[in-house]
Amino acid sequence: MTGFVVNGRRVEVETSARPLLDVLRLDLGLTGTKEGCGEGECGACSVLIGDRVVNSCLVPLCQVEGEEVTTVEGLSSGRELSSLQRAFVERGAAQCGICTPGFLLAAESLLRRNGAPTLEEVRVALAGNLCRCTGYVKIYEAVLGASRGEAP
Amino acid sequence: MTALRAVVARDLGDAVETLATGDPDVRVVAGGTDVMVAVQAGTFRGRALLDIWRLPEPRGVRLEGGVLAIGALESYTDLQRDPLVRAHLPSLVAAAATIGGVQIQNRGTLGGNLANASPAGDTLPVLLALDAEVECVSRSGTRRLSVHDFFVGYRRTALRPDELLVRILVPIPAGERLLFRKVGTRAANAISKVVLAACVRVRDGALESIRIGAGSLAPTPIRLPRTEALLRGRRLDPALADEAGLSVAAEVRPIDDVRSTAAYRRRAAGNILRRWLLELAAA
Amino acid sequence: MPRLDGIEKVTGRARYVDDLVLPGMWFGRTIRSRHRHARLVEIRRDPSLGWSRLVFIEASDVPGENVLALLEDDQPVLARGVIRHVAEPVALVAAPTPEEAEEAAARITVVEEPLPAVLTVEEALASRVLLHGEDNVFKRIEVKKGDVETAFGRADLVVEGEYATGPQEQLYIEPQGMIAEPRPDGGVVVRGSMQCPYYVHRALKRALGLPDEKVVVVQTTTGGGFGGKEEYPSMIAAHAALLARKAGRPVKIVYDRHEDLLATTKRHPSRVRHRTALLRDGSLLGMDVDLTLDGGAYATLSPVVLSRATLHAAGPYRCENVRIRSRVVATNHPPHGAFRGFGAPQALFALELHVTKIARTLGADPVELRRRWAMREGDTTATGQVLRWSVAAHEVLDAAVGRYRSRATPPPPPPKKRGVGVSLYLHGAGFTGSGEERLKGRAAVEARDGRFRVLAASTEIGQGTRTIFAQIAADALGVPLEAIDLEEPDTSRVPDSGPTVASRTCMVVGAVIAAAAEDLRGALARFGEGKGLASRDPRELAAAHFRERGALRVDRTYASPAGVRFDEATYTGDAYPVYGWGCNVAEVDVDTDTGEVAITRFVAAADAGRAIHPALVEGQVEGGALQGIGWATVEGVTYENGRVREDRMATAIVPTTLDAPSIETVLVEKPYPHGPFGAKGIGELPIDGPAPAIASALFDAIGALVPEIPLTPEKVLRAIEGTSG
């Protein structure tokens, strides 16, 4: 068995090289993590392992043994949105929403390491996530706004 | 269809023992950024993955004499953050920063880039220009070989089936300029149309030495020995830069594919080297 | 005000089609052709597989008509007899798991006998191989105004140019998918990712031979559309429904990215020739435009795309003598279809780059030339439409150029060269010509116990439909937003508001909702007065009405503004009730060593009539602009023997954060008297202008015109080397 922690909850799944994405969505019912391409190009399946963001479609399950995995479902505590989630809502950074969980986790990873990023640092940190709706502008505003603790 | 089986190696000895069984259906996976793409696309050939991600041995960066020994499992993110790599190998840092996005850089490894042996692998021209060596371990022991001997054909390496690539040994450049340039299909998350890396020593306005690594310009990552020979010892001036550009275009062996054309690759590669030499001449 | 669906989307609670699991659900796969044009000889199934445990469907199993109902009935639900493009659906399988379905699909061999193919527009027009009618032309249009021959006779000079655009992939991040569930009465419920529930409804009725009430179509949260989920969802819905009815259980079909890229529709490639008659002083005497689109293997929406392309070909300029001849032809490419802009971006790319060329030929300032030619209220378009209201060409031009000139950055050192380009354009809002009159879009507002419900079939695909509808209804009713509920787009519950396309949702359906809400408010007020109630609060009146007489619902149907008329026989009259206006300024740094084009600044001025929700409008402008920028720079879809080469996300390139400039948006408001609160359509306008602005900037930088997008480093370097000898 492969044991790991998802959003604070300990789980065990039969060891295999199945993509972590499938285990999250199909076995654990965590469908907030999306599949956009299955080949690590779009970032829709981004989750955190520890503090680092990864494409869960490319991580074989066996590699998360003992790790802490965070998905979009783990960003808010109870019904309370995180400041990043709030900023995304308030700034209109989510349009169709399919890429949003991935962007949130890439941004979360950035802010855990760098609490006051520049615009250029935000762009670099989000370059592995594709959004087709927003032109990215409102996503930058949300991440920068959340990092500054600004009200919109 | 059953799920792809995982064999998790605890340590290097364990991994090497598994490889020694010679089972062709067992394939090594490190960060998964190439292997899992094939698994997802249904093009993976094999029944099990030997997972070496957690091996303690092929990790870290150490200074050993004049050589930087880089663990094969160092990720592109690790390389960009490592103080020794940043201090001594800026071209490797630059190459690592152009691969995929953050998600890929967090999982993809230097050893993986070598073992995958794509002609477009972005760190490979850098390692060629640096005259790096790779260290491979098997039950019968450890062997070192030059990266120049490592790429033996299109996506084929000199690594034996029972061997694991564990370290990359890079002689630390002293007084040499390291250059890197990639033209990709877009600004990030892109496979290269052209990659060029160089290690150059200039003295008194002349090129004392130059080594050039090239990617996406031949079936394997290559050095450009004819162009290097043409340049060695020559005085840096615009005419030499023009000559070098033409030489590169003549020396490389690119193809037309979904990402670019052979004609473009020749031209762009020549122009990049030409520009470097013009800038060195002006400096 | 935050958008209403924001919280569910940032928490992962929003449920997209692939997130849904129905009890006993099976998984469907589509078996597709390999050839671009072939005789379909046989579909062979490997006898060693236990087919009795699975469900298999081929053309002969289609119970209704084997057609995908759209404009023409030329496209089958499953190919029969002949294959007309690569990846055409031939057969279907369903199995208890995705793996078993995939395994079964791999055991089916489609035997095809190749036929001579048509792979270019030139081959189509040569008609040696006939795919459609007698000449491979799906539709032809001619627009005439004034006397073009005389105008060219009077000209001091004639500027000519030929421009081309390639196919473009929508690349919504959620691949297409549907789940069909059979009903005990023989009917079917289909849920999935789509823009147009009633298109799917109509297609299912035809293919399954079912009456209205036995087909229910429900839109699930949809991860982007951009036109790509306008027509193709009907195909997947029909496939899922066929499998589900035979299996007697729910069947899900969700495409993986590879299948989606290979099989679904892309933007029409175009080739446009311009001849322009001018006086030396820059007077515009006449325009002669010849436009051809590659429609692909079936008609899909091509005739309407051609119509919009044709109607935008003369752009935002006043010209007394215009001739536009256009056609869309059949080839053996997968069918091209709807994509944001719908033909207008192709026509405007050619026109606006040509205007830049004219300015350079005349030695005129490209901004001043456009300012001089730009239409004003009272001017007449190529179809003879007198623009009676809401013309903002000068306003958007001034706004964009003003913003661009408000600051400057130092030019880059060699080998880079800087250039600046501008584009001015318009986009007809709502359906082309008499479309809205024919369609008669409906919507309703219903008062219940103190709350109000909006009933419309328009879908939320990210653009903010639900938020805007709630805002419009709340404003018209005079109640807070919290009092508004929105019915799900479910054909058993909402009236047919028409498809969610053509920048019509806010302007057309929004106007119907506003009218219905106003009527409802009036009816409640009369009820309150009749009862002698003191309250004027519509919520309290609604509650009182609900207690006494139940819910009160007002249905309204769209009516075009008085005097708006279009003649489809002669292509004259009011092509659109109103236009949105846009202007882009692009600044590029071109690396002359590598041909890489970096967009260093990008200004987008857009006129939405009235921005009901400015953040949502900005979102449309920024997103549309980046799709246009991508189309101009990195988004090249190509065919190899009729097959899409960019068939994976790794090769189907779109801009990342590092490719995208920080788009500087300027909203301009020139109200439209017949839109809700003055609003006009804004969904498509922003994609029309970026490509010619960038190509013009490149021209400015390197002194060579590259007439074909995408402006890849390969093309740009060739152009640079051509100029330097």
- Residue C667: what pLDDT? 98
CA distance B126 to B197: 5
Q: Which residues of B touch C658 (CB under 8 A)?
A: 186-188
Query: C93 phi and psi, to 5 degrees?
Result: -135, 155
Query: pLDDT per residue over C397-443, tens digit each?
Result: 999 999 999 999 999 999 999 999 999 999 999 998 888 988 999 99
Minimum Cα–Cα distance from B33: chain A residue:
A58
Whether omega for the bond prior to residue C710 falls within 30 degrees of 0, making it cis, is yes
Query: What radius of gyration, in Å, describes the C-alpha atoms of chain A?
Result: 15
- Residue B1: what pLDDT? 45
Query: pLDDT per residue over A91-103, tens digit each?
Result: 999 999 999 999 9
* B-interface mutation test, from C262, C596, C714, C724, most B Cβ less than 10 A away: C714
Q: Is C3 in Cβ contact with A138 (below 8 Å)? A: no
B169–chain C nearest CA distance, Å: 31
Residues C311-328, mean pLDDT to the nearest whole number = 98
* B268 in contact with C, Cβ within 8 Å: yes
| Closest Cβ–Cβ partner in A38, A55, A127 for B188 | A127
CA distance C708 to C703: 15
Query: Chain-wide mean pLDDT for chain C?
Result: 97
- Count chain A–chain B contacts defined by CB atoms under 8 A: 103
Residue C359 predicted with pLDDT over 70: yes
* B220 in contact with C, Cβ within 8 Å: no
**Count of other CB atoms within 10 angstroms of residue C228:** 27
| Closest Cβ–Cβ partner in A36, A39, A135 for C663 | A135
Place of tokens 């189309």: C631
* B45 in contact with C, Cβ within 8 Å: no
- Residue C434: what pLDDT? 84
Residues B31-53, mean pLDDT to the nearest whole number = 95
Query: pLDDT per residue over B98-118, tens digit each?
Result: 999 999 999 999 999 999 999
Cα angle C676, C461, C504 (rounded to 5 degrees) comes to 30
Q: Is C619 in Cβ contact with A100 (below 8 Å)? A: no
| Closest Cβ–Cβ partner in C598, C714, C718 for B260 | C714
C183–chain A nearest CA distance, Å: 26
- Residue C725: what pLDDT? 41
Q: Is A38 in Cβ contact with C256 (below 8 Å)? A: yes
B231 with B279: CB under 8 angstroms? Answer: no
* B38 in contact with A, Cβ within 8 Å: no
Confidence of residue A57 (pLDDT cuts 50, 70, 90): very high
- For residue C643, give the nearest of C68, C140, C33 by alpha carbon: C33
Query: pLDDT per residue over C598-650, tens digit each?
Result: 999 999 999 999 999 999 999 999 999 999 999 999 999 999 999 999 999 99
Cα angle C168, C173, C174 (rounded to 5 degrees) comes to 115
- Chain A neighbours, 3+ Cβ pairs < 8 A: B, C
Cα angle C217, C219, C225 (rounded to 5 degrees) comes to 125
Query: pLDDT per residue over C536-579, tens digit each?
Result: 999 999 999 999 999 999 999 999 898 899 999 999 999 999 99
**Any idea what DSSP says for residue B57?**
T
Query: pLDDT per residue over C157-205, tens digit each?
Result: 999 999 999 999 999 999 999 999 999 999 999 999 999 999 999 999 9
Residues C118-132, mean pLDDT to the nearest whole number = 97
Residue B3 predicted with pLDDT over 80: no
**Count of other CB atoms within 10 angstroms of residue C645:** 16
Query: pLDDT per residue over A8-43, tens digit each?
Result: 999 999 999 999 999 999 999 999 999 999 999 999
Do strands C188-192 and C321-330 pair parallel, antiparallel, or not at all (unpaired)? unpaired
- Residue C673: what pLDDT? 96
- Indicate the Cα dihedral angle C201, C203, C207, C213, nearest 10°: 20
CA distance C494 to C491: 5
Residues C343-363, mean pLDDT to the nearest whole number = 98
Place of tokens 């500054």: A148
- Chain B neighbours, 3+ Cβ pairs < 8 A: A, C
Which contacts qualify for A67-71: CB closer than 8 Å, 24 or more apart?
A67/A4, A67/A5, A68/A4, A68/A5, A69/A4, A69/A5, A69/A6, A69/A7, A69/A20, A69/A24, A70/A6, A70/A7, A70/A105, A70/A108, A71/A6, A71/A7, A71/A24, A71/A30, A71/A32, A71/A33, A71/A47, A71/A101, A71/A105, A71/C12
Q: Which one is predicted more confidently, C263 or C725?
A: C263
| Closest Cβ–Cβ partner in B3, B53, B189 for A41 | B189
- Residue A152: what pLDDT? 55
* B264 in contact with C, Cβ within 8 Å: yes
Minimum Cα–Cα distance from A37: chain C residue:
C257
Query: pLDDT per residue over B138-186, tens digit each?
Result: 999 999 999 999 999 999 999 999 999 999 999 999 999 999 999 999 9
% of chain B exceeding 90 in pLDDT = 96
Q: Is A127 in Cβ contact with B187 (below 8 Å)? A: yes
CA distance C677 to A50: 50
CA distance B82 to B105: 14
B281–chain C nearest CA distance, Å: 15
Number of residues that make up chain B? 283
% of chain C exceeding 90 in pLDDT = 97
- Chain C neighbours, 3+ Cβ pairs < 8 A: A, B
Query: pLDDT per residue over B202-232, tens digit each?
Result: 999 999 999 999 999 999 999 999 999 999 9
- Count chain A–chain C contacts defined by CB atoms under 8 A: 167
- State how far the alpha carbon of B207 is from the alpha carbons of B149, B244, B274, C168, in Å: 26, 12, 13, 47
A22–chain C nearest CA distance, Å: 12
CA distance A20 to C125: 51
Number of residues that make up chain C? 725
3-state secondary structure of B211: strand
Q: Is A129 in Cβ contact with B107 (below 8 Å)? A: no
Q: Is B48 in Cβ contact with A53 (below 8 Å)? A: no
CA distance C124 to C136: 6
Statement: the pTM of the whole predicted model exceeds 0.95 = yes
Cα angle C75, C79, C80 (rounded to 5 degrees) comes to 110
3-state secondary structure of C229: coil
* A-interface mutation test, from C3, C7, C11, C17, most A Cβ less than 10 A away: C11
| Closest Cβ–Cβ partner in B41, B258, B264 for C714 | B264
In the beta sheet, which residues pair with residue B151? B157
Q: Is C660 in Cβ contact with A135 (below 8 Å)? A: yes
| Closest Cβ–Cβ partner in C12, C222, C648 for A39 | C648
